[in-house]
């Protein structure tokens, strides 16, 4: 039997990116269908790290407390050579720019379980597991999706937009028809996830051992878990490496065996460094691993996918509501691709440090990096956090920068800004309530976006408890900012009196 159901958005794939996008759209009351080919959730660990910005996305999704409970913050990520000398060190703050720890360690199945619970609490998400998308019909008005169910039944749906969150081997990608830029940087690693029977204290929590005899990663896999990654050596077959016997043999020098720990999984994973050149074709879009893949050394694959989801969600919301022109969706690729490229380049730069098997090359690397350390230089700086050109205030030095979230007090309530004051389009100023400076039309437009406005300061209605906003505004030399729902700045002005022109410029950009 064939049935056709109509949705606002159909999402193909229910990994973390599909889950997050479905929730973000359903929170805005859009009717969302999710089609996932697997009948059950993928049970094995993959990602182990998310950063402060992603913590704020989880907060937006409504799972902050649950995710905090399922993760642990990391202080140091150290890169050592075979002799134990430090080559590189990343110190992570307990409170990062977005109000969350800069580095958080977790187990991906646990995060997916929490996102699934949240998605199931939202009535406008129609979740269809055991539904493989096998056909896509694309027209000017809608997209038809054909699924084959686990029972062999055909099912058809129509949606105004379809987003492929269907992972590295994306089916939807074929229909977008874009080119893949592949940097050709790939290596095989054995991934081993372990649950030690007794609680362990690791210092530093996360280490890369850049030993050409066997490059090894040793990181937290979330509370109560450890992750080891061992690079495949020349002449070693994948079958030989990917065995339980090999996993235990490689763990032995670390003091772990079946008597004191449980092996959750072992698998050989080939990482890639590549991205798709266009993430939109008409009503078809891509997000997450379907659009980009990267080496795991910066822990940014899933993080990048969640940034895609929050960027796309507010744009789809405005387009579906008829408040923005569909061309606004082109800014999704133009903003996100440069960011993803920077993250992939950083992940590759880190990969080039550790994926060295030649002892002579490793010696040269060590000398250069230890020398750089002594001179106080960092050989592998983290990437800039700006997004690329898009829905931004032209020529504004703050436009495209990730904005902060600090702790505030408002009346009797104390907490992170988004929870206390609100989220979405947000005007902030240290000198006045920016909304009070809006002209009639700008005020009506800003209200139609559900905009939030706050005067933040030591003695303002929104009290800047730690002075984080005061410091930010002083450093930036501006008096008002307009923050987008994905926490990046649309723009700024040096006087709060210019708020109207900032908001009018946003209106122009969304209509263009
Ligand atoms: C070893 C390892 C370590 C990693 N470490 C990190 C890290 O520390 N931090 C980090 O941020 N990232 C990390 N990553 C990357 C992270 O796991 C991925 O980026 C993330 O899972 C991608 O999420 P996604 O939702 O885009 O895709 P996926 O999680 O792959 O989900 C795609 C879904 O689409 C479904 N699907 C596919 N085709 C169809 C179809 N035709 N119809 C219906 N459904 C379909 C699949 O069944 C799957 O459930 C790591 C990855 C690995 C392997």
Percent of the chain with pLDDT over 70: 98
Cβ 164 under 6 angstroms from ligand 1: no
**What's the 3-state SS for 305-316?**
HHHHHHHHHHHH
385 — pLDDT class (breaks 50, 70, 90): confident
Whether residue 379 is predicted with pLDDT greater than 90 in this model: the reply is no
Q: Residue 462 Cα, ligand 1 centroid: separation in angstroms?
A: 39
- Residues 88-109 pLDDT 10s: 988 888 889 999 999 999 999 9
426-to-287, 310, 477 alpha-carbon distances in Å: 25, 15, 19
Name the residue of 172, 188, 302, 351 to mutate for ligand 1: max ligand atoms within 8 A of Cβ: 302
- Residues 323-363 pLDDT 10s: 999 999 999 999 999 999 999 999 999 999 999 999 999 99
- Ligand 1, atom 50, lies closest to the CA of 47
Cβ 464 under 6 angstroms from ligand 1: no
pTM of the predicted structure, to 2 decimals = 0.96
Cβ 191 under 6 angstroms from ligand 1: yes
Q: Which residue ranges form the domains of the chain, and what is each CATH number?
A: 4-71+98-181+274-342 (3.50.50.60), 407-511 (3.40.30.120)
- Residues 236-287 pLDDT 10s: 999 999 999 999 999 999 999 999 999 999 999 999 999 999 999 999 999 9
Cβ 222 under 6 angstroms from ligand 1: no
Matching residue, tokens 């199931």: 120
Structure tokens at 215: 């490059």
* Closest among 365, 403, 483 to 87, alpha carbons compared: 365
Q: Residue 273 Cα, ligand 1 centroid: separation in angstroms?
A: 15
118-to-43, 77, 154, 420, 467 alpha-carbon distances in Å: 18, 31, 28, 21, 33
Residues 6+ apart with CB under 8 A from 502: 393, 480, 482, 490, 491, 492, 493
Atom of ligand 1 nearest to the CA of 267: 1
447-to-13, 434, 451 alpha-carbon distances in Å: 34, 13, 5
More confident site: 190 or 5? 190
Strands (E) located in 76-151: 76-81, 86-91, 103-105, 125-129, 131-138, 143-149
Q: Residue 135 Cα, ligand 1 centroid: separation in angstroms?
A: 21
The alpha carbon dihedral of 464, 71, 87, 189 has a sign of negative
- Residues 21-72 pLDDT 10s: 999 999 999 999 999 999 999 888 899 999 999 999 999 999 999 999 999 9
Cβ 400 under 6 angstroms from ligand 1: no
Q: Residue 371 Cα, ligand 1 centroid: separation in angstroms?
A: 38
pLDDT of residue 381: 63
- Residues 410-461 pLDDT 10s: 999 999 999 999 999 999 999 999 999 999 999 999 999 999 999 999 999 9
Q: Residue 272 Cα, ligand 1 centroid: separation in angstroms?
A: 13
């Amino acid at each position: 039997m064939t049935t056709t159901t109509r949705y606002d958005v159909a999402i193909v794939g229910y990994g973390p990116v599909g889950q997050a996008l479905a929730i973000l759209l359903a929170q805005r009351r859009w009717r969302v269908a999710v089609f996932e080919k697997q009948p059950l959730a993928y049970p094995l660990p993959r990602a182990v790290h998310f950063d402060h910005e992603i913590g704020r996305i989880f907060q937006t999704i409504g799972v902050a407390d649950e995710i905090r409970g399922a993760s642990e913050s990391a202080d140091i990520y150290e890169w050592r050579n075979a002799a134990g000398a430090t080559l590189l060190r990343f110190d992570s703050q307990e409170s990062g720019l977005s109000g969350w720890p800069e580095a958080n360690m977790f187990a991906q199945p646990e995060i997916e379980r929490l996102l699934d619970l949240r998605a199931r609490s939202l009535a406008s998400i129609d979740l269809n597991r055991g539904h493989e998308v096998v056909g896509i019909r694309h027209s000017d008005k809608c997209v038809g999706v054909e699924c084959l169910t686990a029972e062999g039944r055909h099912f058809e749906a129509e949606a105004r937009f379809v987003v492929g969150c269907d992972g590295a081997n994306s089916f939807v990608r074929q229909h977008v028809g874009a080119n893949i830029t592949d940097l050709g940087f790939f290596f095989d690693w054995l991934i081993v996830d372990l649950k030690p029977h007794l609680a362990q204290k690791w210092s530093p929590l996360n280490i890369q051992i850049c030993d050409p005899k066997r490059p090894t990663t040793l990181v937290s896999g979330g509370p109560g878990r450890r992750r080891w990654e061992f690079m495949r050596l020349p002449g070693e077959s994948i079958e030989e490496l990917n065995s339980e016997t090999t996993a235990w043999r490689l763990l032995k020098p670390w003091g772990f065996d079946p008597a004191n720990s449980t092996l959750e999984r072992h698998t050989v994973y080939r990482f890639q460094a590549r991205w798709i050149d266009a993430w939109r074709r008409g009503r078809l879009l891509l997000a997450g691993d379907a659009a980009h893949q990267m080496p795991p050394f910066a822990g940014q694959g899933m993080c990048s996918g969640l940034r895609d989801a929050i960027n796309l969600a507010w744009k789809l919301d405005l387009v579906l509501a008829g408040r923005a022109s569909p061309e606004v969706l082109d800014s999704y690729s133009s903003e996100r691709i440069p960011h993803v490229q920077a993250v992939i380049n950083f992940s590759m730069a880190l990969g080039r440090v550790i994926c060295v098997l030649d002892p002579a090359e490793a010696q040269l690397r060590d000398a250069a990096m230890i020398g750089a350390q002594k001179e106080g230089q960092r050989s592998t700086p983290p990437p800039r956090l700006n997004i690329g050109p898009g829905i931004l205030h032209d020529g504004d030095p703050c436009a495209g920068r990730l904005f902060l979230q600090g702790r505030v007090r408002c009346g009797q309530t104390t907490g992170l800004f988004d929870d206390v004051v609100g989220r979405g389009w947000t005007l902030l100023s240290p000198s006045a309530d920016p909304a009070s400076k809006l002209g009639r039309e700008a005020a009506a437009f800003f209200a139609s976006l559900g905009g939030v406005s706050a005067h933040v300061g030591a003695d303002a209605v929104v009290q800047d408890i730690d002075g984080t906003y005061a410091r930010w505004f002083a450093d930036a030399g501006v008096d008002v900012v307009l923050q987008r729902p994905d926490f990046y700045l649309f723009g700024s002005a040096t006087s709060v009196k210019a708020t109207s022109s900032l908001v009018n410029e946003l209106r122009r950009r969304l209509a263009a």
